[in-house]
Structure 1
């Protein structure tokens, strides 16, 4: 996890504009570098580094002596970089995974290069020889990337939208169309002699929910005739590749299936890989939280160095504004679920040396884990809903996971969004991917049944949404927020909200409170969220799982 920032074709003082890059210092606390490109007018590249691999040679912008006209800044990890080096006979000069991006760009071009990458990434390439800028983002948008390009040709790029405010003098920030690069896309910009940019190509190299074009599938002989064996094998391999790090690795552990399974595999594989430190696990919740109870049971079973953080209602309420500022979102579900992760990440940063953390995000979208999937009218409808969720992940759960952890200089990795696993899983008959016997993610659970990785009571524990799991049984976190908002937002203010915010008009005092905090930091940017996340096929006015009729107490 790092932070990247760049401007091209600026008519203003570039050195002054570079101050904006410090808005994302939290993403890379280990080092910072800003570089004006010599003999290339009005261009500047900035990089905030979180050291994960090759401490000595991993600083960016990266340039290779073999390709001196190509500059690279990127955020993320390329898990197949060693395999790519062998397959394409690369002469590597560092241990940095991103070096393969430069080699592939030079030999295969921007789109074919992106199609070969197995990982979580967002990159910006400056090719001074051909006067081009190339932007790219991974299939699921796990790593964020924002940009805008004015009609005058001023292009600005950043890992977070907040780093782009105050840059353009042709428009004020409220009018400026700051947008995220769509996941699975590559954009190519041409630069004129003065460095002004114009979009010349946008290509979708891979769409969420589709089998990737590139050859990432395992050899046929690696698969068995047993679907459950294949599922278990692919999930384990997804976890193993995400242990690639020279910094300490830990796990977020809620006690639910997804995080517990990831943690169990990390513990198993850490012994295989010879990691010399105990795996740390981290849980957060209020007094009486079902997550805390389940997570402690998992930690004791696995023998991890467990950290349990108690969150008071007051601490949670006080953290809402900072959480929204870092999230750059006002979606009700996202904000609710992010507060606990935001505070937990702060604890990890302040009290431990763990930097890389694995988490269970993505499993609910890929494997139909949300409770409302029990109400799907058909297997095909459930499959289509799963694909829709995966396409929009970058706006909700993946956004939450990245920004709530990046706020405190941590890198999160999400094995359930591995290309090999998602490609195989989505190719299976929709009928066997539906909830079975009243249990969501039945296929994944049964794939590990009898493995001994987890106690059965955890492996088959019913779904608990994260924002609900941190709550006490007596009073849910969302009810605490709503009670607070009832005092802060009047009925008159709520009644006038649709005229003040015609896009995604707030329907509740909680939604209006979140929107006001968002607009305080990002005025006029409500369009960043296309709609409020809500469960499908369910009669509810609130996204909390605890409001659903089929919620399991």
Structure 2
């Protein structure tokens, strides 16, 4: 895993200062502590920071093609590079190294932009063709690896693996995009269609950008998308066998490394499945690690220990206090943009633990999004059936009225919290799912913002891009569209961003075998009953893994990393909660109704309401603004 950065002049081939590229790369040294390099030519400069994983001594970057006509900086892993190397050799290509980087160069020279569909893996790269004077920026199918870019006032385009690489360039304008603030208050992160800084872009997952000297800046082109248009046919037993084959293939392909390799093990279905298949494929014990908490209700280490014993892994566990509030500023430094998923703290902790013994760790991320592991997906599936029974006009009047009258009861047992369900049934499916994903719905956000900010935001609402994405999906049902939203919006914006930044902060490469695109494409073709059945998600996956894992691992309620943020804001962070409405940078922006923020903070501190998640959101935004120099 690595960090990349560079500059490309679109209009005239102006000289590029190598020291400028070096400074951009220095900001990314945590992504690549093992070495670095810079290459410049008229109008272009490429920089690289390397974390050595494959061909440790033989694949320095920036890397030139054998004929010297192309240069590459690459972040990621190509898991089928050996097969591609053999195919390219048969077509006449020659190679000087044993790594995957040179395969990308040869694939570009053989197939051009079409080479992207042949690459299986996680990647973000920049490839400059000296003959064509073009720069190709590309990002993998799911957005496992990040890539930011921005046009600058001198006519150049700057790119980097993280926003901090761009922040090292003196021409970058540090002006907040107000629509990103609307997005962040809705989702708790800034989604990939926007950046916190105006003018900065994220290359979307499954897209590429081909820049040509002397030509205007083009828009990104999508080279891959996920389709739910076709359903797989066959007996459940046959589909189960095919799924197991794909799972084994995905895990074994990600076990290739020339450095120590292990796995995160929480004791849940997904990480336990990965460890089981790693143990099956490995001739030596698998290294695993898990984090436990000193609060019994939050601790899952007993399940992880059982799985570790069952498969004879070299298991490392550590119990930590969930009171890691003093590390909030560390998170701000990792993410650059405001990021409010509090599970980033324990994720960082487990990455720290893994890095003590390994350089690569496999995770279980992706299965919930692809196979129906989230409760919201199952609820949406049932709600869509109800929507199909009543005309839209009847639903809107009936359920909208009932939802408005029903009291909000977050304190009540889950079956009595009907207000959200009633309001969801009154809406179209896409809007309802956007409501389910959002932390703060439109009305709640409107109450937080000042009148000045509401005028600045205009008619835009954070849900609009997600609703449009779901409506444009190649899908056959509401459940399909929910999967699509999770895989194309939520996953790259929240989950993969969290894992990338926290793992790279400690120079650890995280790999996601359950996001192998062949596996996800198979899941997209499954009949709905093989994804969700009898209140259970991931039905076929659990059936396939029953030969490896006991039922109390496969069917126990899902539990993620939990951070007690509500308690923090009634204790050690009470002062921070009050500052949000007073002297903090956030209060000085004029975006928020500070009187309202003060009421929210005091009600939470007094125990009258639980606003912990919102206060964490606001605090992380405040500290991000401070770090960006927005005061």
* CA distance, structure 1, for counterparts of residue 630 and residue 531 of structure 2: 41
* CA distance, structure 2, for counterparts of residue 59 and residue 173 of structure 1: 36
Q: Which residue of structure 2 aligns with residue 540 of structure 1?
A: none
**Candidates 246, 255, 267, aligned match of 2:258:** 246
Q: Which residue of structure 1 aligns with residue 497 of structure 2?
A: 399
CA deviation map 1:130-182 (0-9, x unaligned) = 11111000010001111111354211111111111141437456565222111
Conserved 8 A contact 1:139-1:183: yes
**Candidates 317, 330, 354, aligned match of 1:348:** 354
Conserved 8 A contact 2:153-2:171: no
Conserved 8 A contact 2:128-2:134: yes
CA pair 422-498 structure 1, distance change in 2 beyond 3 A: farther
**Candidates 540, 547, 557, aligned match of 1:443:** 540
**Number of residue pairs matched by the alignment:** 487
1:313 aligns to what SS in structure 2? Answer: coil
* CA distance, structure 1, for counterparts of residue 591 and residue 136 of structure 2: 35
Structure 2 matches for 1:310-389, cutoff 5 A? 310-314=319-323, 316-332=324-340, 334=341, 336-349=342-355, 351-352=356-357, 354-376=358-380, 377-378=383-384, 380-389=477-486
* CA distance, structure 1, for counterparts of residue 152 and residue 524 of structure 2: 39
**Candidates 274, 279, 289, aligned match of 2:286:** 279
* CA distance, structure 2, for counterparts of residue 158 and residue 491 of structure 1: 34
Deviation at 1:369, TM superposition (A): 0.8
Structure 2 matches for 1:469-484, cutoff 5 A? 477-483=564-570, 484=572
**Candidates 11, 17, 23, aligned match of 1:19:** 23
CA pair 54-134 structure 1, distance change in 2 beyond 3 A: same
* CA distance, structure 1, for counterparts of residue 28 and residue 213 of structure 2: 26
* CA distance, structure 2, for counterparts of residue 114 and residue 500 of structure 1: 45
Deviation at 1:8, TM superposition (A): 2.4
Tell me the TM-score normalised to structure 1 length.
Answer: 0.81
Q: Which residue of structure 2 aligns with residue 546 of structure 1?
A: none
CA pair 141-170 structure 1, distance change in 2 beyond 3 A: closer
**Candidates 393, 410, 427, aligned match of 2:508:** 410
Q: Which moved more, 1:372-381 or 1:283-292?
A: 372-381
1:461 aligns to what SS in structure 2? Answer: coil
> Are 2:318 and 1:309 equivalent residues in the alignment?
yes
**Candidates 248, 252, 263, aligned match of 1:236:** 248
Q: Which residue of structure 2 aligns with residue 461 of structure 1?
A: 556
Structure 2 matches for 1:195-210, cutoff 5 A? 198-200=216-218, 202-209=220-227
Q: Which residue of structure 1 aligns with residue 85 of structure 2?
A: 85
2:329 aligns to what SS in structure 1? Answer: helix
* CA distance, structure 2, for counterparts of residue 491 and residue 420 of structure 1: 49
* CA distance, structure 2, for counterparts of residue 158 and residue 382 of structure 1: 36
Deviation at 1:28, TM superposition (A): 0.9
Q: Which residue of structure 1 aligns with residue 157 of structure 2?
A: 155
Deviation at 1:250, TM superposition (A): 0.5
Deviation at 1:487, TM superposition (A): 3.4
Conserved 8 A contact 1:33-1:60: yes
* CA distance, structure 2, for counterparts of residue 142 and residue 229 of structure 1: 27
* CA distance, structure 1, for counterparts of residue 15 and residue 240 of structure 2: 59
Pairwise CA RMSD: 2.9
* CA distance, structure 1, for counterparts of residue 568 and residue 133 of structure 2: 51
CA pair 256-478 structure 1, distance change in 2 beyond 3 A: farther
* CA distance, structure 1, for counterparts of residue 580 and residue 83 of structure 2: 61
* CA distance, structure 1, for counterparts of residue 228 and residue 100 of structure 2: 25
Conserved 8 A contact 1:189-1:201: no
> Are 2:530 and 1:432 equivalent residues in the alignment?
yes
* CA distance, structure 1, for counterparts of residue 260 and residue 253 of structure 2: 15
Deviation at 1:11, TM superposition (A): 6.9
Deviation at 1:96, TM superposition (A): 0.8
CA deviation map 1:374-433 (0-9, x unaligned) = 312237222211111100111110111111101111111101110110111101112321
CA deviation map 1:308-334 (0-9, x unaligned) = 1122233x21222212321234343x2
Tell me the TM-score normalised to structure 2 length.
Answer: 0.72
* CA distance, structure 1, for counterparts of residue 240 and residue 23 of structure 2: 52
Deviation at 1:224, TM superposition (A): 9.4
Q: Which residue of structure 2 aligns with residue 98 of structure 1?
A: 101
Conserved 8 A contact 1:283-1:292: yes
Structure with greater proportional helix content = 2
* CA distance, structure 2, for counterparts of residue 91 and residue 122 of structure 1: 24
* CA distance, structure 2, for counterparts of residue 502 and residue 63 of structure 1: 51
1:462 aligns to what SS in structure 2? Answer: coil
Q: Which moved more, 1:171-180 or 1:145-154?
A: 171-180
* CA distance, structure 2, for counterparts of residue 51 and residue 390 of structure 1: 29
